[in-house]
A and B are shown apart, each in its own frame.
Chain A
Amino acid sequence: MSNRNTGLAVEADGLVRSFGSTRALDGLDLQVPAGTVYGLLGPNGAGKTTAVRVLATLLRPDGGQARVFGHDVVAEADAVRARVSLTGQYASLDEDLTGAENLVLLGRLLGLGRPAARQRADQLLAAFGLTEAAGRQVKKYSGGMRRRIDIAASILNTPDLLFLDEPTTGLDPRSRNQVWEIIRAVVAHGTTVLLTTQYLDEADQLAGRIAVVDHGRVIAEGTPGELKSSVGSGTVHVRLRDAGERTRAEQVLRTALGVPVQLEADPVALTARVGEDGTDLEAGEQAARALGELARAGIVVDDFSLGQPSLDEVFLALTDHPAVGADERDDELEAAR
């Protein structure tokens, strides 16, 4: 495998795909370096799922082209399929079958003999903590277990590129951490991971580079650090005891931070972006100064936090519109028929 760890795992140029009147992909460009975790970040309906489905050979693009490890996703779909796996947003295993049966079935389809497929299934079930649930139907699995068996199925043939479409959406925090650990292990063993997510912190935790997708196009690309500093490395959230103090608090914060302060819909809440042009350290210093100034002015603060910019804030900053959208796959099911 010459380019398993080097070069580009994915190269997409101007991908276009419409469903009826919806343009799910509108000239999407992407370069994913091999051997890394790459995050596609965006709201529902941004085109992330459609992009993944085109790259995984499930959908043909209407325009543009894409190569996976140098193979065209349309003309050389079989060569691409031999090297990729997809864990979709929706259950992609047969729910009527048991976990073990699903894995043996896939092993057989990937060319393993019956004993080898069984052995591989047992190995995977053990590694993913599912040995006890091996004989249970997948529809009886919990959300976290289902994700794990899905990912186990996807690495059955140790793919060179693994697509994970919103792997943690709807999971509780513990299951989410488990999935993160698994993703880290997968990439450490040389598999490239292309991950879609709606959560900036997830992309930040896992991805070496991130592309922010909106309306079927990449609107920003870079390392998590680069993206965050383009938006400001943090946001200060303040909640006051007394709504009557908000005007005064706004003045204090504006003077202390030297940035515009937003008044939230909640009458006691204010937010301000900090660390506009700099480091996390600077954001921390600014936040500390803001808290100090509020105390000195005698304003009672109930809640004060410095957080990363949320996806909403990144979006607002990059697009001047909030992150909203429709569910793509529903659009697709509606329109593709």
Chain B
Amino acid sequence: MSDTATTTGRPPSVYVPSAEALATVLAPGERPPRPGALSASLTFGWRALLKIKHVPEQLFDVTAFPIIMVLMFTYLFGGALADSPRDYLQFFLPGIMVTSVVMITMYTGVGLNNDIEKGVFDRIRTLPVWRPAALVGMIFGDVLRYVLAAVVILGVGLALGFRPAGGPVGVLAGIGLLVIFSFAFSWVWTFFGLVLRSEKSVMGVSMMVLFPLTFLSNVFVDPATMPGWLQAFVKANPITHLVAAVRAAMAGSADATNTMWLLLWSAGFVVVFGTLTMYRYNRR
């Protein structure tokens, strides 16, 4: 009963609203109780999965981009900074994994901004559900992308000769820490997604924050050779704590100090930017 011309071969039949058919859907039924916070969040997460199903191109960012990053930097710096690319990879892989995954957290903000622009958020915000559910669900969906990106990078790393001393448990622990941090960090982008005018400006701001944050860290080289002022920044940078903790976990030794710092940073991001996000979300 389509009224478009997209169907070929037969004339499109015209929709005629029928009183009886409408009556069946309009009869006021029992209103179900409102869903719980978790259930609503998971439903929004399901929406994110459906979007991946319909627009699989969006996985390009979490597959091709990380592969390029690993290959590029391993062979660019490997010979110069270590004895061989393979040696460098042992140091570098956890760092590039962090960089790639943290970089794709910005798509949370881009996606949210897009929803607002398209009007989907108007409907979502008039639903009587737990307020943060839409955003939490959106980030749940993104967490899946983070895991996928981490696994892709791990696969490439293993193929190139990365041999983590921590074994599967250490690698899992490292990825776990990375995902916790990325979930928390995504709230920064939900805030910017709500505040900024367009998708483009969200991208612009994200890049301005993410490039210094990921490069001015211990991802690529040991900070020992950097000037003092830069070392100070690198030391305070949450990415440094994250990379140190992930590196240690994958190497089979736990770095309690850095792990604690990264968890504190994560909690801080959720509290500060989660609150700011919800404030903006409710105020718009």
Q: Would you list which residues of chain A between 113 and 156 have a CB under 8 Å from chain B?
A: 113, 116, 123-124, 126-133, 137, 140-142, 144-145, 148, 152-153, 155
B163 within 8 A of A: no
Asked if A337 meets B197 with Cβ closer than 8 Å, knowing A93-B123, A97-B50, A111-B33, the reply is yes
B9 lies within 8 A of chain A by Cβ: no
* Complex interface: stretch among B85-93, B125-133, B265-273: B125-133
Give the interface segment out of A33-41, A179-187, A199-207, A261-269: A179-187
Number of residues on chain B facing chain A (CB within 8 A): 52
Binds B, one of A101-109, A288-296, A299-307, A320-328: A101-109
B128 CB, nearest partner CB in chain A, Å: 4
Q: B120 contacts A91, CB within 8 Å?
A: yes
Chain A residues with CB under 8 Å of B123's CB are 86, 88, 92-93, 106, 153
Q: Which of A7-15, A57-65, A244-252, A273-281 contacts B (4 or more CB under 8 A)?
A: A57-65
* Contact between chains at B51 and A174 (CB < 8 Å): no
CA gap between A51 and B26 in the complex, in Å:
26
Tell me if B1 and A132 are in contact (CB < 8 A). yes
Residue in chain A with minimal CB distance to B51: A96
Question: Among the listed stretches B14-22, B205-213, B232-240, B245-253, which one makes contact with chain A, having 4 or more residues with CB under 8 Å of it?
Answer: B14-22
Q: How far, in angstroms, from A331 to B186 measured CA to CA in the complex? A: 29
B127 close to A123 (CB less than 8 A): no
Q: Which one of A21-29, A77-85, A219-227 contacts B?
A: A77-85
Of all chain B residues, the one with the shortest Cβ separation from A78 is B128
Smallest CB separation, B53 vs chain A (Å): 9
Give the size range of A's interface with the partner: 35 or more
**What chain B residues lie within 8 Å of A142 (beta carbons)?**
2-4
Find out whether the CB atom of B25 lies under 8 angstroms from the CB atom of A59: no
Interface pair A82/B122, CB less than 8 Å apart = no
CB interface residues, B 1-40, toward A, < 8 Å: 1-4, 6, 14-19, 21-29, 31-35, 39-40
CA gap between A133 and B13 in the complex, in Å: 13
**Using Cβ atoms and an 8 Å threshold, which residues of chain B touch A123?**
24-25
Chain B positions within 8 Å of A, measured between CB atoms, are 1-4, 6, 14-19, 21-29, 31-35, 39-40, 43-44, 46-47, 50-51, 54-55, 117-120, 122-123, 125-129, 133, 195-197, 283-284
Q: Which residues of A contact B (CB under 8 A)?
A: 1, 53, 56-60, 78, 81-82, 84-86, 88-98, 101, 105-106, 108-113, 116, 123-124, 126-133, 137, 140-142, 144-145, 148, 152-153, 155, 157-158, 174-175, 178, 181-182, 185-186, 189-191, 333-334, 336-337
The contact sample of 20 A-B pairs, CB cut-off 8 A, is A58-B122, A60-B283, A88-B123, A90-B119, A97-B47, A108-B46, A109-B40, A110-B32, A127-B18, A127-B22, A127-B24, A129-B15, A131-B1, A145-B2, A145-B3, A145-B4, A153-B123, A155-B25, A158-B31, A189-B26
